[in-house]
Amino acid sequence: EVLQRLPDDRQTLLFSATLPKSIIDFSKAGLTDPVLVRLDLDEKISNKLSMVFVHCRADDKTAALVHLARKSLAAKEKTVVFCATMKHVEYLSAVFELAGIDCTVLYSQLDAVARNNNIARFRDGDCSLLIVTDIAARGVDIPLLDVVINYHFPPKPKLFVHRVGRVARAGRVGRAISLFSFDEVPYVSDLFLFLGRTLDFAIPGSVYKDDGTLIGSFPCDIVEEEAEFLKNMHDNSDELNELLKKAENAMKKYTKTRPQPSSESVRRAKDDIKEALLKASVHPFLQQEAPHEAVRHSFLRDLHNFKPSATIFEVQSNSKALPAAVMKAKRRAHNKFIRSKSESNAESRDSQSAEASTVTCEASDDFLKETFHTVIRSTKFSSADDLAAKKLKTRKRKADELLEEKKKHYIEYVPAEANTERGLAVDRGFNAQAKANMIEVLADDEVGLYKQKKRKKWDRKLKKFVGESSDMQKKRIRTEDGTYLPATYKSGRYENWQKKQKIAYINEEEGDEAASVNRNKPALFKKRFGNRGRSKQGGHLNAEQKAPHSELKKPEQILKERKKKQKIKSYQAYRRRQNLKKKGLVTNKRH
């Protein structure tokens, strides 16, 4: 309505703190030749921002957050906590209220008056802790912010940049603390790939640096202390237990609707990152608050590597027991041999290391092939490395042969130079730039999540509104050569044509010629004897079981159709002349 009342030769400027999909759709529909202008720096993250990544269990996140909130309030730092859903905001607000920590909240279902009051209260410094959701924090300008805590790790790297971009502005220093559990590890991997940084895990003796991105664990002593405090609060408050149950149900729905991480990050999380997280020590940012944690970690490592000398027969048995006496006699008899064997092994290792530094390099297989015309080896005494290399070479050769066979019989869905052409393509239009910089924020309540999941879009092929699936719901199909492609590649034209022409029911031995000859037999049988024909199963012939109509015509059929068309054409011309004569006679009679 507003755009219709404006003149056509206007100049429109649209400003937005973020770039959601709705604004892009509006720009496509309401603007002519739009231009995208972004006020971004070269770096994705400010160099004044220090990032802290702390790993903890999902059940220990609340205890860790309470400790971090106490630490921020003690340092008089303005802190914003980002949560996934509105139910988590309400639950954490109740927890902080019972813990004696003053805080304010902000979510989508909050009315305008309460929203403005809470923002003004936090901006004026009446409280130093604000709990928000992503969709509620859009468009909120809060200056002089010190700390951002990600209670739930953002599912998209751009969303992480949008969250932490609220601190370290205008030359100020800031800190972003991210808590993540095991199910959020792939999102952490996606973020580090997006930022172009390596995954560095904390080890005993690591030093905290503002420009570093260390990943460490949360101190167990602090978590246990805060967890005991939370347990006492839940035991004395039924309302808090009810809010916790609602938050858990909301988390189940949130995990179903959030975008899925990349397959490469999921693979890395399963293979490497989770194992490294189990070995990581306490983050240096929290090391000062847990001075005994390093000793505890060292003790657990020594306990893990401890190997007892006593056997199972000597455990919990006195000296007079028969098994214990047998093991002691065995140890006395074999102790001398074990000691001499250990000394000989140590000497052999020392001699091998000394020989390795002086011995000449052994000739390689390639050098032998270049020197000698024929190299004869015994397959019986071949080494295990040679056999493994031969098997690997055979598997590689078979894989190459299979790939060449596929290239002969199957046509690629994507050209071989697709990646190169995509990299060399120059696409600087508004749609390409907007799509690259788009950020989609998930809703924080049940109704909003349902609407995002059941969003409708117009299908130009079906001529109706259909459900729009999110990134995590993209279906894939398997092609004939075994590769997987998005379901959008499948149009169904070939299957529909095959079903219409009944190609699947042609006898391959007889061919198309036999099918064209035999296709008139059911009609002749019906003309002579009526509809009494039965198939082998006892039923009538279905349309799917009849022979297909051949599209290949014989020369006699083509000539016959031409004569028929010419006859019809000449008859129509004759009737046209006759009609003109009749109209002329009628005109003469009137005169």
pLDDT tens, position by position, 291-302: 666 666 667 666
Report pLDDT for 418: 56
pLDDT bracket for residue 139 (50, 70, 90)? low
Q: Which two tokens stand for residue 105?
A: 């909240």
Amino acid letter at 475? Answer: K
pLDDT bracket for residue 80 (50, 70, 90)? very high
Angstrom CA distances, 54 to 86, 151, 222, 286, 336, stand at: 23, 11, 13, 9, 51
Read off the pLDDT of residues 513-552 as tens digits, 9 standing for 90 and up: 444 445 444 555 555 555 554 444 444 545 455 566 677 8
Report pLDDT for 42: 41
Q: Is the pLDDT of residue 586 over 70?
A: no
262 or 61, higher pLDDT:
61
Between CA 567 and CA 573 the distance in angstroms is: 10
Single pTM value for the model: 0.56
For residues 296 and 219, the answer to whether their CB atoms sit within 8 Å is no
Read off the pLDDT of residues 336-352 as tens digits, 9 standing for 90 and up: 888 888 888 877 766 66
Q: Is the pLDDT of residue 419 over 70?
A: no
Q: What's the whole-number average pLDDT of the chain?
A: 75
487 or 83, higher pLDDT:
83
pLDDT bracket for residue 499 (50, 70, 90)? confident
Residues paired with 80 in a beta bridge? 130, 148
3-state DSSP call for residue 508?
A: coil
Between CA 49 and CA 45 the distance in angstroms is: 7
Read off the pLDDT of residues 17-43 as tens digits, 9 standing for 90 and up: 666 666 666 666 566 777 777 665 445
477 or 408, higher pLDDT:
477
Q: Is the pLDDT of residue 448 over 90?
A: no
Between CA 285 and CA 55 the distance in angstroms is: 13
The DSSP symbol for 271 reads: I
54 or 112, higher pLDDT:
54
Residues 49-300: name the CATH superfamily. Answer: P-loop containing nucleotide triphosphate hydrolases (3.40.50.300)
pLDDT bracket for residue 362 (50, 70, 90)? very low
